[in-house]
A and B are shown apart, each in its own frame.
Chain A
Amino acid sequence: MRKVTEINKVINELRKGKTPAYEKLFKLYYPRLFKYAHHFLDDSFVTEDLIQEVFIEVWNKRKLFISEKQFTSYLFKMVRNKCLNILKRKVIEEKYLSSQAQLKSEELYHISFGIEDDFDSMEKNLSQIIEDVITQMPDRCSEAFHLKWIEGKKIREISEIMNISTTMVDKHLAKGLEIARKKFIPPLLLLYICTKR
């Protein structure tokens, strides 16, 4: 039998559209979610907006929540996916390395929010996504891309490894970027990504 915890009671109230319940849940989970997302995004404005967006979706979907575990895992996965989307774009725009997406205590958050799937770190997920993008590119191009974005090598180093001129490396990277953009980022979103230098 499912235990009637305090949170389950609050979730029942949320389902009925009671804003005090919504407020309680927001205030309860905000600090943890903020800390988690901020670790990856490293920007308070972006993090605040992201969590606000997630809670707006929670409100719009309030009729669907029936238990604590379902609620917390939804909440957490939403935050995580949104972080992942932002990071993916940042990597493609060369503003971020996928290996930077590291939080050694990440699994603690998964346990705390009741995520039951096998634990996969943000770093691993991000690398997978970027690798997927890269495999869609021509060979030489994907090699340059991998060295630059996954391994974080400098242009000069890449030119030595691939035994080509730095200008050629630039050309490969530019071409790869174009492919990635076409495939993964609608043009409007590009403006949003180019913010962090």
Chain B
Amino acid sequence: MSNEKIKELIQNFLEGKLSEEKEEFLLSWVKESETNKNLFLSEQENIQNDLLSSTDRRLEMRWRSLLKKIQNTEKHQRGKIKLRRTASVAAAFIFGVLFTFWATETRDVTSVLVTQNISTPLGAKTNFELPDGSVVWLNSGSKLSYPSEFGEIRSVKLTGEAFFDVKKDKKHFVISTEYGNVEVQGTSFNVKAFKNEVFETTLVSGIVSITEKNTKKRVTLHPGQQADILESKISVKNVDTELYTSWKEGKLIFREEYLPSAVKRLERWYNVTIELDDDPRLSKIWYSGTLEMESFSEVLELLKVTAPISYYYNEKTRTIRIFYD
């Protein structure tokens, strides 16, 4: 057995990459003699020293979530529960590290305009500033495109869900979606426009107007109101806006939400696939509650405890199947 080969095995073992067979092989080599065992331990030390000075990006997510937990508990111990809120806002910023960013060049007749595309993978969120100083929080599995410089109209394109805090300006701010346009001057509001789901705009402050794509029907919203579009029909109702905007602070709130729609939000939030069994009773189950930094297995437990359901998790496909008990 060459030294190089053994070193490679030890390195892979320390990185958790060795197959069980190779682990067994390494173990039998280590147990062959006291010399081998000492060689193993000193080589392990060398490799560990190298690993300590390198940075492993793969574990970044897990480390962030651990850091959040210890920061949260320490704040608890000091009895300052209010600070949790700040921590969760900070968490939303931390998640921002994960967004993907690219720029595509589109040649204009007169000038070179660059379109920025920002998208978030499932399970991650991000926030950023637009060229005019407006701030956008982009929820997981969403995409926003905007020009590097705004023209006469501040125009952006959204697929998915985002919260906008639009800077006041004479130029109109227009968000175009698959379902229609949302137009404002300066306000804060949430737009949800995922494919194959109900379109929703929730207004926190200011005034927005929404134009449906096919019928061109236009409605104006006042703070605390929500408009939704279903099969080209717009309807407006009064809502508790926190329910629809709290995701940007790292909180997921359910209020009497039926399982099928709760499941869709959980899928994006945790980047998993959830299938509901073919039992009509499942769609009659509803949930109320706030999730804050809970791990996915904790969430599944919560669901289970509060309703007569059970689930099966398929590790290989990362799919969860929910059954009615």
Give residues in A with beta carbon < 8 Å to B: 5-7, 10, 19, 23-24, 26-28, 30-32, 34-35, 39, 42-46, 48-49, 52, 55-56, 59-60, 103-105, 107-108, 111-112, 191-192, 194-197
- Please determine whether B45 and A5 come into contact, CB atoms closer than 8 angstroms: yes
Asked if A45 meets B313 with Cβ closer than 8 Å, knowing A32-B13, A52-B69, the reply is yes
For the complex with contacts A35-B16, A55-B66, A105-B26, 20 further pairs of A-B residues with Cβ separation under 8 Å are A7-B52, A26-B59, A27-B59, A28-B48, A30-B62, A31-B59, A39-B20, A42-B315, A45-B296, A48-B62, A52-B295, A60-B73, A105-B20, A107-B27, A111-B27, A111-B30, A191-B301, A191-B304, A195-B297, A195-B304
Contacts of B300 in A (CB 8 A): 195
**Interchain residue pairs A-B with the least CB separation, the first 4:** A31-B16, A105-B23, A35-B16, A45-B297
Contacts of A32 in B (CB 8 A): 13-16
Secondary structure type dominating chain A contacts: helix
Q: Which residues in chain B, 301-321, are within 8 Å of chain A measured between CB atoms?
A: 301, 304-305, 310-313, 315
Asked if A49 meets B295 with Cβ closer than 8 Å, knowing A42-B315, A191-B301, A197-B312, the reply is yes
Smallest distance from the beta carbon of B8 to chain A beta carbons, Å?
15
5 example contacts (A-B, Cβ-Cβ < 8 A) are as follows A28-B52, A30-B59, A49-B298, A191-B304, A194-B310
B24 within 8 A of A: yes
CA distance A111 to B66 in the complex (A): 27
B65 within 8 A of A: yes
The residue that A49 contacts in the complex, of B15, B44, B297, with Cβ under 8 A, is B297
Secondary structure type dominating chain B contacts: helix
Total A-B Cβ pairs within 8 A:
106
B324 within 8 A of A: no
B63 within 8 A of A: yes
Contacts of B40 in A (CB 8 A): 111
Contacts of B62 in A (CB 8 A): 26, 30, 48, 52
Q: Which residues in chain B, 7-39, are within 8 Å of chain A measured between CB atoms?
A: 13-17, 20, 23-24, 26-27, 30-31, 37
Smallest distance from the beta carbon of A71 to chain B beta carbons, Å?
12
B81 within 8 A of A: no
B49 within 8 A of A: yes
- Please determine whether B297 and A31 come into contact, CB atoms closer than 8 angstroms: no
Question: Which residue on chain A has the smallest CB distance to residue B270?
Answer: A45
B97 within 8 A of A: no
Smallest distance from the beta carbon of A25 to chain B beta carbons, Å?
9
User: Interface centre among A24, A27, A104, A111, by most B CB within 10 Å?
Assistant: A27
Smallest distance from the beta carbon of B238 to chain A beta carbons, Å?
38
B51 within 8 A of A: yes
Contacts of A60 in B (CB 8 A): 73
CA distance A35 to B20 in the complex (A): 10
Contacts of A27 in B (CB 8 A): 51, 55-56, 59, 63
CA distance A24 to B92 in the complex (A): 23
CA distance A194 to B301 in the complex (A): 10
Contacts of A192 in B (CB 8 A): 301
CA distance A197 to B30 in the complex (A): 38
Contacts of A46 in B (CB 8 A): 297
Contacts of B310 in A (CB 8 A): 194-195, 197
CA distance A7 to B40 in the complex (A): 17
- Please determine whether A112 and B52 come into contact, CB atoms closer than 8 angstroms: no
B239 within 8 A of A: no
CA distance A95 to B314 in the complex (A): 16
- Please determine whether A19 and B315 come into contact, CB atoms closer than 8 angstroms: no
The residue that A56 contacts in the complex, of B49, B63, B73, B315, with Cβ under 8 A, is B73
CA distance A39 to B304 in the complex (A): 26
- Please determine whether B51 and A28 come into contact, CB atoms closer than 8 angstroms: yes
Asked if A104 meets B20 with Cβ closer than 8 Å, knowing A7-B48, A195-B301, A195-B304, the reply is yes
CA distance A28 to B62 in the complex (A): 13
Contacts of A39 in B (CB 8 A): 20
- Please determine whether A108 and B48 come into contact, CB atoms closer than 8 angstroms: no
B67 within 8 A of A: yes
Smallest distance from the beta carbon of B129 to chain A beta carbons, Å?
28
B109 within 8 A of A: no
B70 within 8 A of A: yes
- Please determine whether B315 and A112 come into contact, CB atoms closer than 8 angstroms: no
CA distance A2 to B101 in the complex (A): 49
